[in-house]
């Protein structure tokens, strides 16, 4: 790669773009976070719109994040991570290991979709305020049943393989991704995730180890890193953050 | 491959297993649909449970469908399809084409999750009957906004590349997958999908062309093919199948 990668993602939230940013940062790849440039320099949301209108050669992207590589565009987080992981040595070199990395990344994606739907259970394109009642019910179910199912699965993998990473001895892009999701859960559900995290000690060690990687630590301390806001996937609405005991009284 | 593949999936519905069955059928691969064997022959749901309890070497699967290849297990539909597609020539041979096939398959997966949530918007592990009101609202939103967004995206790709397949001249596993989803939408929402399909003529031609492939036609006519039921992802609940005009009166 002589040219830097160009990443297109909403400039005001970490969101799904963060999985790709963390990977690019960890491998020290040159990239431009295009929509965060001023509009006068070709940035802003205006830079994304032609792409999602399909004004590109070949298969158009459906939604950001979108990675431009040369004159081509690829999207879908797990797809972009798999590509970048292969380019930069963040996937196991054996076929089975690469398949399992992709498998775990897709499970992270499933978890992420469920996190999103805690605040948007009935209408993705409507406001949270118009689905608060349903959100309360879905968030309770998520915290009581789905978070332990998904997050507990990743913990069991570490118990089984002895760590330190999800693929064992090989550090992969999946470790970056799960660390980010844990950070997001901590932000969105400080009370209930705070109570739950005693049950996932190995994952919490993994998260700390990811955050201590020199390039990740530098990134997290930089202005390139965007904070969470209530416009993103991870939103902190105190009314949704109930402890499992409370949650179980509100759902079946 | 000397041994046949072994597929593990719920034996009473097409579900996510169908994406893998269609691929195996189209390439004429030898496979055993394990859970459909009698329990006495090692089949039934009992064959799946040890796998999801993690009683396997290496990374355990989280949920079916699960493909056993030799003594290893892989899961997540898009992951298994990518693997089988590469093994059996159902992905483009160039890197970009393979990335775009995976990208589209992941978009099919996103669409599928939204279809599932039309009848389970607030609690995946609870009954439909306990979330009918929310389901009505989510289904309206899906039919009015999300189905056109996702399905229309695939139609636009065919308009752009001239077809006959989503990747242009190359037939891929993504064509099998989208044809199945269209069949499922037709089953679940005969009224609203029936009204919508005039807007996706190229996709309907693609679907017919998939169904006319000799091995697929033979499979669809066989007893190996399971019908849709109200236990699966695609469910026909007439109360959720409203025409867009009606739907728009019921949501914002």
3-state helix, strand, coil in chain A (%, to 5): 60, 10, 35
Which positions 4-63 of B are in contact with A (Cβ < 8 Å)? 54, 58-62
**Which chain A positions have a beta carbon within 8 Å of B130's beta carbon?**
252
Question: In this predicted structure, what is the pLDDT of residue B126?
Answer: 84
User: Contact, B10 vs B222, CB < 8 A?
Assistant: no
Among chain A residues, CA nearest to B250: A123
User: Contact, B144 vs B244, CB < 8 A?
Assistant: yes
Q: Is the pLDDT of residue A248 over 80?
A: no
Which positions 56-115 of A are in contact with B (Cβ < 8 Å)? 58-62, 72, 74-76, 78-79, 82-83, 96, 99-100, 102-104, 106-107, 109-110, 113-114
- Which pLDDT tens digit goes with each residue over B46-64? 999 999 999 998 899 999 9
E strands along chain A, which residues? 5-8, 31-33, 66-69, 72-75
Helix or strand holding residue B6 (H, E): strand B5-8
pTM of structure: 0.94
Question: In this predicted structure, what is the pLDDT of residue A6?
Answer: 97
**What is the distance between the alpha carbons of residues A134 and B129, in angstroms, rounded to a whole number?**
15
Tell me: cis bond preceding B65? Omega within 30 of 0 counts: yes
Q: Sorting pLDDT into bands at 50, 70 and 90, what band is A82? A: very high
Among chain A residues, CA nearest to B84: A99
Which of B54, B75, B126 is nearest residue A156 as measured by Cβ atoms? Answer: B54
As annotated, the residues of chain B forming the CATH 3.40.30.10 domain(s) are 5-87
Q: What is the mean pLDDT of residues A130-153?
A: 94
As annotated, the residues of chain A forming the CATH 1.20.1050.10 domain(s) are 95-213+230-250
Among chain B residues, CA nearest to A68: B96
- Which pLDDT tens digit goes with each residue over B95-131? 999 999 999 999 999 999 999 999 999 888 888 999 9
Q: Which two tokens mark A191?
A: 């009370």
- Please tell me if residue A124 touches chain B, with a CB cutoff of 8 Å: yes
Q: Sorting pLDDT into bands at 50, 70 and 90, what band is A123? A: confident
Task: Look at residue A133 and give its three-state secondary structure.
Answer: helix
Query: Does the complex come out with an ipTM higher than 0.95?
Result: no
Per the CB < 8 Å rule, is B110 touching A107?
no
Q: Which two tokens mark B64?
A: 């079916």
Best of A84, A103, A132, A169 to disrupt the B interface by mutation (most B CBs within 10 Å)?
A103
Q: Which of these CATH numbers, 1.20.120.420, 3.40.30.10, 2.170.150.20, 3.30.420.40, describes B5-87?
A: 3.40.30.10
**Which chain A positions have a beta carbon within 8 Å of B122's beta carbon?**
121-122, 134, 137-138, 141
Which positions 206-235 of A are in contact with B (Cβ < 8 Å)? none
As annotated, the residues of chain B forming the CATH 1.20.1050.10 domain(s) are 95-213+231-250
Per the CB < 8 Å rule, is B102 touching A122?
no
Q: Which of these CATH numbers, 3.40.50.10490, 3.40.50.300, 1.20.1050.10, 3.20.20.70, describes B95-213+231-250?
A: 1.20.1050.10
**Which chain A positions have a beta carbon within 8 Å of B138's beta carbon?**
121-123
CATH top class, domain A95-213+230-250: mainly alpha
């Amino acid at each position: 790669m002589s040219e830097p990668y160009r990443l297109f993602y909403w400039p005001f939230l970490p969101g799904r773009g963060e999985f790709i940013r963390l990977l690019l940062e960890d491998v020290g790849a040159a990239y431009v976070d295009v929509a965060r440039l001023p509009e006068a320099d070709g940035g802003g949301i205006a830079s994304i719109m032609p792409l999602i209108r399909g004004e590109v050669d070949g298969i158009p992207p459906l939604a950001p994040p979108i990675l431009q590589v040369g004159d081509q565009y690829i999207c879908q987080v797990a797809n972009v991570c798999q590509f970048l992981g292969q380019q930069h040595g963040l996937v196991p070199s054996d076929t089975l290991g690469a398949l399992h990395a992709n498998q775990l990344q897709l499970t992270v994606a499933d978890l992420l979709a469920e996190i999103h739907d805690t605040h948007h259970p009935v209408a993705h394109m409507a406001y949270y305020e118009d689905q608060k009642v349903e959100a309360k019910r879905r968030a309770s179910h998520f915290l009581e049943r789905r978070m332990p199912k998904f997050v507990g699965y990743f913990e069991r993998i570490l118990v089984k393989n002895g760590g330190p990473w999800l693929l064992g001895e090989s550090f992969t892009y999946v470790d970056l991704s799960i660390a980010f999701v844990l950070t997001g859960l901590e932000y969105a559900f400080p009370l209930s995730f705070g109570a739950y995290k005693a049950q996932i000690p190995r994952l919490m060690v993994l998260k700390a180890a990811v955050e201590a990687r020199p390039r990740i630590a530098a990134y997290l301390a930089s202005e390139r890193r965007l904070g969470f806001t209530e416009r993103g996937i991870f939103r902190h609405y105190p009314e949704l953050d109930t402890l499992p005991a409370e949650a179980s009284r509100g759902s079946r």
